[in-house]
Amino acid sequence: MNYTLIVLIVYAVVMLLATVLMTTRENDVERFCVGDRDMNWLISALSIAATWIWAPALFVSTENAYTNGFAGLFWFLVPNVLCLIAFIPFAKKIRVEMPEGITLSGYMGEKYNSKGVKNIYLFQLGALSVLSTGVQLLAGSKILSVLTGIPFVWMTIAIAAIAFSYSQFSGIKASMLTDAAQMIFMLAASAGFAIFGVRNVGGVETLLRGLGGIAGDCRSLVSAKGIEILLGFGIPTTIGLMSGPFGDQCFWQRAFCVKKNRIGRAFLIGAVLFGSIPLSMGVLGFAGAGSGYAASDTGIINFELIRHLFPAWAVVPFLFMIVSGLLSTIDSNLCAVSSLTTDLQIAGEYGNVGKMRFSRAAMVALLVVGILIANIPGLTVTHLFLAYGTLRAATLLPTVLTLKGVKMSPAGIVGGIAAALIVGLPIFGYGNITGAAAWKTAGSLITVILSGAIALIASRGCRHE
């Protein structure tokens, strides 16, 4: 049996055993979604960080550092960290306004007493979970398929099955517990790869030479190349990332789970812990560029560099790191989608047992659709990352304005979000497919601005509490 396959099996068994031994099978839908609402801040911080370690954090950070140097890594790393910090006051506010809440869509629906508002938020949050799961399966299976020799499609199914095996047992408790363990390992592994990777290519001098990327012209944020990176990657990425937690049920769910007076600490420490991972992976990319390494596939440059710079056994901790990062986000998406079912009227018609069955069935449906997306020919991690980053931007301003106390009408919110999705996403999609930086930037900005502008204009004179 391939050693990589053994590692994957061991990993799955360890995560499942940890869940079974340290939690109990949950049959109450509210506890399945938010636990006891008193999760320890450190475990919560580790879980928040691990949940944000999606596929791009592991792959795009190294790819951008290698190809686009300091400018590329800057526009990926900094917004990634700042978005979690910017989320803190809003996480605190929603917990105060809806202490027994479970979902953002539930909060917005109750705030405006509107099924339309709730449903359009359900669509956005659900679609994001689907696309996010697809990108995790795409990135993880690409590496694992190469290492194990197992066909890509079967590997996507295997990863999905592992995430489901423990997530369906106790819901959010299983997710946060395994997230914490996964994050501790990722912190240790990424630091080791960065430190010893730099040493193996000749030290700090090589690292500094690599700050310009493989072409050597990407050191400055304000150079011609730096501006090009800003327009083509920086602005769309920043918009998508700054919108990230606000348009992702995974983070609202954790805001309802952590101890009420420890929300700020959990998200702040989570942001710092998260940042160390793409920074470490970026350092590895600088080391590769500075050494002149010629990548065969820049999309998996971190994998190539580890095989090039380290002994053969180093692939094992890298494999654990990849699986940890991907599964932490997938299991968080599973819990998010199960929580969203609490907002569906059909789920409430069958009592608590029916709700639990419906929640677990939603997890299965999410994985099936995610597998189908991951197996679409020609899709790349970066394309999916930018696409769903723009999707979640559609609800950013209505959510922020509502939590800040701005008065808007339900019709204005629904119309604004719908317009942003109908107009902004196609423009961004065209720019993404053609590689036209101006179109990508325009699509991102239109998606954010249109939803808020229409909601405000249509809501003039409205009154709601």
Residue 384 placed within a domain: no
Q: Quick one: tokens of 109?
A: 């629906």
Among 241, 286, 248, 226, CA closest to 77: 241
Claim to verify: residue 119 and residue 184 sit in the same structural domain: yes
pLDDT tens track, the chain, 465 positions: 566 777 788 888 888 888 888 888 888 889 999 999 999 999 999 999 999 987 667 778 999 999 999 999 999 999 999 999 999 999 999 999 999 999 999 999 999 999 999 999 999 999 999 988 988 888 778 778 877 888 999 999 999 999 999 999 889 999 999 999 999 999 999 999 999 999 999 899 999 999 998 887 888 888 888 888 888 788 877 877 888 899 999 999 999 999 999 999 999 999 999 999 999 999 999 999 999 998 888 877 888 899 889 998 888 888 888 888 888 889 999 999 999 998 886 655 566 767 788 889 999 999 999 999 989 887 766 667 666 767 788 999 999 999 999 889 999 999 999 999 889 888 877 777 777 777 877 888 888 899 999 999 987 755 444
Residue 43 placed within a domain: yes
Count Cα neighbours of 187 within 13 Å in the Cβ-side half-sphere.
17
Residue ending a domain, among 329, 352, 378, is 378
Number of domains in the chain: 2
Residue 383 placed within a domain: no
Rounded to an integer, what distance in angstroms lies between the CA atom of residue 344 and that of residue 374? 27
Residue 437 placed within a domain: yes
Claim to verify: residue 421 and residue 364 sit in the same structural domain: no
Claim to verify: residue 412 and residue 460 sit in the same structural domain: yes
**Cα distances (angstroms) measured from residue 21 to each of 25, 169, 178:** 10, 11, 12
pTM: 0.89
For residue 90, count CB atoms less than 10 angstroms from its CB and return exposed for 0-12, middle for 13-18, buried for 19 or more.
buried
Rounded to an integer, what distance in angstroms lies between the CA atom of residue 221 and that of residue 227? 7
Residue 123 placed within a domain: yes
Rounded to an integer, what distance in angstroms lies between the CA atom of residue 167 and that of residue 32? 10
Claim to verify: residue 128 and residue 223 sit in the same structural domain: yes
Residue 276 placed within a domain: yes
The residue count of the chain comes to: 465
Q: Which domain holds residue 440?
A: 394-465
Claim to verify: residue 336 and residue 429 sit in the same structural domain: no
Residue ending a domain, among 378, 402, 427, is 378
The domain that holds 58 is classified in CATH as: 1.20.1730.10
